[in-house]
């Protein structure tokens, strides 16, 4: 211990700062758990509803809660005071009638993304998901996984995360809401910034859930015919969207034909490969049934929904069709290098010369600098380690290595927004 003290050679001020920082780290769970409770109590929504620049007393805030607890105002004040210390909310201090300090609170910039926007989504759902007791339990097994091997989540529950989500209806809803809210916010920025959809005629979203993401794209680019593909039980809950076709199936190596394939973060399916087919066309239900039989479907069902929107359920195991563009959004970070190369090689086979794979991923910085933006990627990397077998975030060089191993000759990476990058691989 003495040698360490001498090696660090801290000044008295640095020594106190180091001690305070260590104490903060030791209490790091306090902030996210307080934020979780504040979200569940709608405290931030209450502050935002008050309007720009408004400052509310805790009595004003608590008056909107369904409680008769006489200590509620004091408790809420202490919670908001902590959140103000982290710039989650703003705080002004005055004096009450007795001359005592009196605090009022308002919305801070972070509230823009922690309260529902015009699309009805926010990062609050992600906070509730990450701090849910189900995911929190897996962190208690991180040490054991390091020493004994295995995946912390699997050790906690005796099954993979994918399997667990299907067995726990409550948490499955929490998880899906977290993913939907995050994806909607980031996809909206992607659609505004990225120009790669402009030449696409048919866009297939693999693992597209209920189709909300695809509808955002087709609304921005109305010339695109959208095909939304996911598991049958997911598609059964999909609402009709003009210009969007819902297709249900269980895929391992194939997707419906289209001018482009869109793929976002998928956590409830196994290995995913996607392809782009410039020969896409409208078909009768008999033609679809014929295709299904030729591809090995065991069952077929088609029903008309609304304005060019179709739900098609089946069981699909076929090869990757040829095409000239493939888009994957937060797919590769779920898988090991070996499986990523396998996915990309199948994509390479499906592409013509100069064809492209377009990835949407985080890019891991080489140097772990202590900035908020960089910390976010390192946070996500450890989340992948705790929850997904082989999953991890990667550096730009590591992505380039995967591309090269899969046979791609061109590579380009560009930052988009909030740690999301566009990575283009050219055959």
Alpha helices in 94-151 (DSSP H): 111-114, 124-130, 133-139, 142-148
What is the rounded CA–CA span in Å between residue 328 and residue 422?
10
What is the rounded CA–CA span in Å between residue 216 and residue 119?
10
pLDDT band at 346 (very low <50, low <70, confident <90, very high): confident
What pLDDT, on the 0 to 100 scale, is given for residue 356? 77
Mean pLDDT of the chain: 81
Catalytic center residues: 333, 361, 393
Q: Which of 16-30, 69-83, 295-309, 376-390 has the lowest mean pLDDT?
A: 295-309
Assess contact for 204 and 217: CB atoms under 8 A.
Answer: no
Considering only residues 44 and 360, tell me which one the structure prediction assigns the higher pLDDT.
44
What is the rounded CA–CA span in Å between residue 230 and residue 274?
13
Relative to beta strand 325-329, strand 356-361 is parallel
- Kindly tell me if the per-residue pLDDT of 319 is higher than 50: no
CB atoms within 10 A of CB 369: 10
What pLDDT, on the 0 to 100 scale, is given for residue 23? 95
- Kindly tell me if the per-residue pLDDT of 216 is higher than 70: yes
What pLDDT, on the 0 to 100 scale, is given for residue 41? 99
| 3-class DSSP assignment, residue 255 | coil
- What mean pLDDT comes out for the span 120-135? 97
Which percentage of the chain shows pLDDT scores above 90? 50
Relative to beta strand 244-248, strand 260-263 is unpaired
Considering only residues 278 and 110, tell me which one the structure prediction assigns the higher pLDDT.
110
Sign of CA dihedral 269, 243, 188, 191: positive
Assess contact for 181 and 126: CB atoms under 8 A.
Answer: yes
What is the rounded CA–CA span in Å between residue 202 and residue 325?
11
DSSP states along 47-80: HHHT-TT--EEHHHHHTTSS---TTHHHHHHHHH
- Specify which of 8-22, 55-69, 279-293 reaches the highest per-range mean pLDDT: 55-69
pLDDT band at 17 (very low <50, low <70, confident <90, very high): very high
Phi first, then psi: give them for residue 224, nearest 5 degrees: -85, 135
What pLDDT, on the 0 to 100 scale, is given for residue 37? 98
Give the closest residue to 265 by CA, choosing from 343, 179, 325.
Answer: 179
Assess contact for 164 and 92: CB atoms under 8 A.
Answer: no
What pLDDT, on the 0 to 100 scale, is given for residue 63? 98
The pLDDT tens digits for 189-207 are: 988 998 887 877 767 666 6
Relative to beta strand 410-417, strand 420-426 is antiparallel
What is the helix (H) or strand (E) element at residue 89, kind and residue range?
strand 89-95
- Specify which of 176-190, 287-301, 314-328 reaches the highest per-range mean pLDDT: 176-190
Which percentage of the chain shows pLDDT scores above 70? 76
| 3-class DSSP assignment, residue 202 | strand
What pLDDT, on the 0 to 100 scale, is given for residue 401? 98
What is the rounded CA–CA span in Å between residue 228 and residue 243?
10
The pLDDT tens digits for 60-79 are: 999 999 999 999 999 999 99
Burial of 335 (0-12, 13-18, 19+ CB in 10 A): buried
- What domains lie within the chain, and their CATH numbers? 2-114 (1.10.10.10), 124-426 (3.40.50.150)
> Which residue has tokens 């890019």?
363
Task: List, in order, residues 6 or more apart from 77 with CB less than 8 Å away.
Answer: 58, 103
Relative to beta strand 244-248, strand 325-329 is unpaired
DSSP tag of 246 = E
Tokens of 223: 């010339």
Task: List, in order, residues 6 or more apart from 275 with CB less than 8 Å away.
Answer: 254, 255, 261, 320, 321, 322, 323, 326, 346, 347, 350
Tokens of 115: 């309260």
Q: Which of 215-219, 320-324, 402-406 has the lowest mean pLDDT?
A: 320-324
- What mean pLDDT comes out for the span 146-153? 96
Give the closest residue to 411 by CA, choosing from 419, 366, 401, 392.
Answer: 401
Mapping DSSP onto H, E and C, the string for 321-354 reads CCCCEEEEECCHHHCCHHHHHHHHHHHHHHCCCC
The pLDDT tens digits for 362-421 are: 999 999 988 888 899 999 999 999 998 889 999 999 999 999 999 999 999 999 999 999
Residue-wise burial string across 266-301, b where 16 or more C-beta atoms lie within 10 A, e elsewhere: bbbeeebbbbbbeebeeeeeeebbebbeebebeebe
What is the rounded CA–CA span in Å between residue 80 and residue 86?
10
What is the rounded CA–CA span in Å between residue 311 and residue 304?
7
The pLDDT tens digits for 171-185 are: 989 988 998 899 889
pLDDT band at 232 (very low <50, low <70, confident <90, very high): low
């Amino acid at each position: 211990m003495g040698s360490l003290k001498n090696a660090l050679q801290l000044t008295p001020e640095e020594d106190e700062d180091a001690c305070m920082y260590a104490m903060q780290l030791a209490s790091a769970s306090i902030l996210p758990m307080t934020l979780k409770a504040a979200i569940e109590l709608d405290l931030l929504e209450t502050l935002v509803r008050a309007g720009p620049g408004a400052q509310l007393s805790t009595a004003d805030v608590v008056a909107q809660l369904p409680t008769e607890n006489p200590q509620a105002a004091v408790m809420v004040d202490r919670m908001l005071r902590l959140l103000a210390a982290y710039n989650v909310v703003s705080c002004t201090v005055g004096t009450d009638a007795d001359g005592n300090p009196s605090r009022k609170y308002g919305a801070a910039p972070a509230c823009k993304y922690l309260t529902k926007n015009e699309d009805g989504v926010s990062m609050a759902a992600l906070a509730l998901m990450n701090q849910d007791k189900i995911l929190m339990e897996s962190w208690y097994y991180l040490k054991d996984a390091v020493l004994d091997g295995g995946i912390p989540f699997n050790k906690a529950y005796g099954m993979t995360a994918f399997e667990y989500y299907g067995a726990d209806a409550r948490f499955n809803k929490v998880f899906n809401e977290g993913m939907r809210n995050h994806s909607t916010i980031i996809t909206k920025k992607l659609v505004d910034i990225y120009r790669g959809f402009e030449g696409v005629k048919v866009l297939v979203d693999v693992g597209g859930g209920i189709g909300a993401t695809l509808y955002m794209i087709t609304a921005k680019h109305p010339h695109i015919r959208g095909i939304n593909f996911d598991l049958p039980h997911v598609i059964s809950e999909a609402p009709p969207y003009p210009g969007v076709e819902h297709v249900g199936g269980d895929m391992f190596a194939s997707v419906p034909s289209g001018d482009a394939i869109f793929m976002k973060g998928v956590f409830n399916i196994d290995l995913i490969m996607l392809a782009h087919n410039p020969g896409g066309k409208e078909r009768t239900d008999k033609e679809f049934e014929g295709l299904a039989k030729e591809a090995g479907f065991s069952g077929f069902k088609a029903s008309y929904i609304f304005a060019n929107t179709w739900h098609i359920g089946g069981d699909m195991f076929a090869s990757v069709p040829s095409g000239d563009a493939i888009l994957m959004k937060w797919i590769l970070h779920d898988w090991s290098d070996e499986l990523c190369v396998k996915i990309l090689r199948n994509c390479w086979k499906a592409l013509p010369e100069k064809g492209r794979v377009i990835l949407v991923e985080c890019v891991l910085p080489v140097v772990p600098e202590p900035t908020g933006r960089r910390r976010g990627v390192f946070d996500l990397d450890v989340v992948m380690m705790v929850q997904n077998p082989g999953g991890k975030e990667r550096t730009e060089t590591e992505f380039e290595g995967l591309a090269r191993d899969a046979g791609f000759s061109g590579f380009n990476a560009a930052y988009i927004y909030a740690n999301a990058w566009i990575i283009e691989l050219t055959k």
